[in-house]
Copies of this chain bind each other. A is one copy, B any other.
């Protein structure tokens, strides 16, 4: 379909050897400026661009990275991708996307398929369905890899995360200051450090303020919208909490639905506070208090780290970069 314009073609048209063309294109000192100019102008004229497969094969570098995430259609991850892409462009890299849909087997299959030199490095936010550090302990030895947000700890790999514990603590405290005493917790990512840290922040805030934790007020996230909806409705009906703290954005919809189905007024009957990157949602519903992770920045930072590694540069300090989330308090804390 595309007429082959390769180094050989350029060499023929200019009546010089292939090697000379190659060197000229790479601006080698061995080539005269005159020859270089002849090559460059013809290259431009014919729209020559080097064949990536050929140079990959030769150089073992692909100028490509992979992003392995649970799902693109999620505010947090799509913003992260934006950040990643921005940095990738600066470095002239291409970005492959793989969605695991929280399926650990798919996750392994994808990453394994990347080990044969398809990409120079991987950025990943792991599936929450399992915490299997064995696999990743092995993987990080084979390919440059940076974790972001959903990470594996205690591995020889950089991770970019946020202040999950602190922000969950502050958020819970905010609910308490608003007068809430029965704060239900919608628990997501329970297998992962991020999920555990958020929950710990919630627990410690209760403790600090002398509120006894009640296990009945916790609902754990499951796949399947209906199930979550039912669980929350049951929670609301049985235990009548005065607030819902949603630890992941996927819980917002069932939480709102449950309240509506039970004719509970938000925020009068129940206050709602959520981790969320839904800027639009916040605007449409200006009274929703939210925790926004700096998704875009996380993507940027993670990508920057990966490129530092790929360029064999020293990483500044730690292997663990922690960015700050933002707690946006709205009128009357709730939706």
Contacts and interface: CB of A to CB of B under 8 A. Distances in A.
B257 A115 contact: no
A96 B95 CA distance: 6
A82 interface: yes
Nearest to A66: B94
A12 interface: no
Given A144-B1, A252-B280, A53 B57 contact: yes
A117 B53 contact: yes
Interface residues of A, number: 54
A8 to B, nearest CB: 14
How many copies of the shown chain assemble into the complex? 2
A72 B81 contact: yes
A47 B112 contact: yes
A223 to B, nearest CB: 16
B284 A284 contact: yes
A95 B56 CA distance: 18
Given A57-B57, A117-B2, A335 B284 contact: yes
A127 to B, nearest CB: 15
B142 A1 contact: yes
B284 A143 contact: no
B82 A99 contact: yes
A260 interface: yes
Contact of A143 (B1, B52, B78): B1
Interface of A: 1-2, 47, 49-54, 56-57, 62, 64, 71-75, 78-79, 81-82, 85, 94-99, 112-113, 115-118, 141-144, 252-253, 256-257, 260, 278-281, 283-286, 288, 335
